[in-house]
Amino acid sequence: MGMPVAIEIVDEQATTKIFQEVFAYFRWVDEKFSPYKNTSEVSLLNNGKISLSEISSEMKEILALAKETKLKTKGYFDVYHKGVFDPSGIVKGWAIQNAAALLKKKGMKHFFVDAGGDIQVSGKNRKGKSWRVGIRNPFNRFENVKAVAINEEGIATSGTSVRGMHIYNPHRVDSPPKSIVSLTVIGPNAYEADRFATAGFAMEKEGIYFIESLPGFEGYMIDSSGIATYTSGFENYLI
């Protein structure tokens, strides 16, 4: 789905085969869920070539998760945009989390998985310290505005600096979010962080208060004027 994927495994028992299996999983996800590939299950659904009664178990899971997320975000997360089905906003975090679970099943304890800038970490880095993740300046992609230290959490950023405007407000479909440019969310895992970062961005400046209301989540928002607002516990992660 147009996402660069990077994986680092610190465990000494990591093998080339393990890396290959994880990258193969991401390729499978791309083939099944990419809205840009005519042969994907998503495209087959949108083009009427298969019905909801014919979808795979994985697609049923994604639809169930999307429905749950829509309810939890009061409709600010929706995988349907003007009648077109695009589950990318939930598939990415889901895939990262599944890849991390695959690594743990293989006995890996210290690693990170990064897909399109959304990250799941586990354990420690090569220096035996917490993983460090930078938050990019949306006005200058060559610098970080903040850096955080995480150990088992997921971190995701929704914004417009890389892919342009690709997030919409389901309650105002013809009025894309303009008051903020970046929302970074730290959560218990990449799936949770990703879905709420997407929904929070659609809420614009209210999004940071939504993240504040979620137990176990912290957020860092940058508005269109370059002003940052963050949740009450975000500083606990700052380096």
Tens digits of residue pLDDT in 33-57: 999 999 999 999 999 999 999 999 9
Tens digits of residue pLDDT in 134-169: 999 999 989 999 999 999 999 999 987 555 455 667
Element (H, E) at 23: helix 16-33
Phi, psi of 238, deg, nearest 5: -70, 145
Q: What is each CA distance from 115 to 54, 77, 169, in whole angstroms?
A: 29, 20, 24
> Residue 108, exposed/middle/buried by CB under 10 A (0-12, 13-18, 19+)?
buried
Is the four-CA dihedral 193, 157, 166, 2 of positive or negative sign? negative
Is the four-CA dihedral 198, 199, 204, 206 of positive or negative sign? negative
> Residue 87, exposed/middle/buried by CB under 10 A (0-12, 13-18, 19+)?
buried
Tens digits of residue pLDDT in 5-26: 999 999 999 999 999 999 999 9
Nearest to 55 by CA among 64, 84, 70: 64
Q: Which one-letter amino acid corresponds to residue 89? A: G
Across the beta sheet with 228-230, the strand order is 5-9, 111-115, 118-122, 154-159, 180-187, 218-223, 228-230
Tell me the pLDDT band of 177, cut-offs 50, 70 and 90.
confident
Could you give the domains of the chain? 5-237 (3.10.520.10)
Average pLDDT of span 175-181: 82
How much is the pLDDT for 178? 82
Is the four-CA dihedral 134, 136, 142, 146 of positive or negative sign? negative
The structure's pTM equals: 0.94
Q: How many residues does the chain have?
A: 239
> HEC string of 61-86?
HHHHHHHHHHHHCCCCCCCEECCEEC
pLDDT > 90: percent of the chain: 88
CA pair distance 178, 220, nearest whole angstrom? 17
Tell me the pLDDT band of 206, cut-offs 50, 70 and 90.
very high
Average pLDDT of span 218-232: 97
User: Do the Cβ atoms of 88 and 82 come closer than 8 Å?
Assistant: no
Whole-number average pLDDT of the chain: 94
